[in-house]
Structure 1
Amino acid sequence: MFLFTEYGVCENLRKLEITGVSCRDVYAKLLHRYRHILGLWQPDIGPYGGLLNVVVDGLFIIGWMYLPPHDPHVDDPMRFKPLFRIHLMERKSATVECMYGHRGPHNGHIQIVKKDEFSTKCNQTEHHRMSGGRQEEFRTWLREEWGRTLEDIFHEHMQELILMKFIYTSQYDNCLTYRRIYLPPSHPDDLIKPGLFKGTYGSHGLEIVMLSFHGKHARATKITGDPNIPAGQQTIEIDLMRPIQLPNVENLCNFNELSRIVLEIHEQVRQEQQQQQQEDRTEDGEGAGPPTEKATEPGNEGAAALKEQPVQFVLPVGVSSRNENYPRTCKMCFYGTGLIAGHGFTSPERTPGVFILFDEDRFGFIWLELKSFSLYSRVQATFRNADAPSPQAFEEMLKNIQSLTS
Structure 2
Amino acid sequence: MSFISVNPESDFSIHNLPYGIFSTQANPKPRPGVAIGDYILDLSQVSKLFVGPLMRNEAEEVFNQTTLNKLMSLSYEAWHEARQTIQRLLSKHEGVLRDNSELRSTAFVLQRDATMHLPAQIGDYTDFFSSLEHAINGVKLFVDGDKALFPNWKYSPLGYHGRASSIVVSGSPIRRPNGQMRPIDDRPPVFGPCKLMDFEIEMAFFIGNTPNKNGDIVPIDEAHKHIFGMVLMNDWSARDIQKWEWIPLGPFLSKNLGTTISPWVVTMEALEPFKVVNVVQEPKPFPYLYHADNYNFNVNIAAAIKPDNGEASVVARTNLSHLYWTMKQMLAHHTITGCNLNAGDLMATGTISGPTPDSYGSMLELSWNGTKPLTLSDGSERKFLHDGDEVIFTAHSERDGCRVGFGECRGKLIPALAL
Question: Normalising by the residue count of structure 1, what TM-score does the alignment of the two structures yield?
Answer: 0.26
Higher relative contact order (CA 8 A, sep 6+): 2
Question: Normalising by the residue count of structure 2, what TM-score does the alignment of the two structures yield?
Answer: 0.25
Larger radius of gyration: 1
Whose helix proportion is higher, 1 or 2?
1
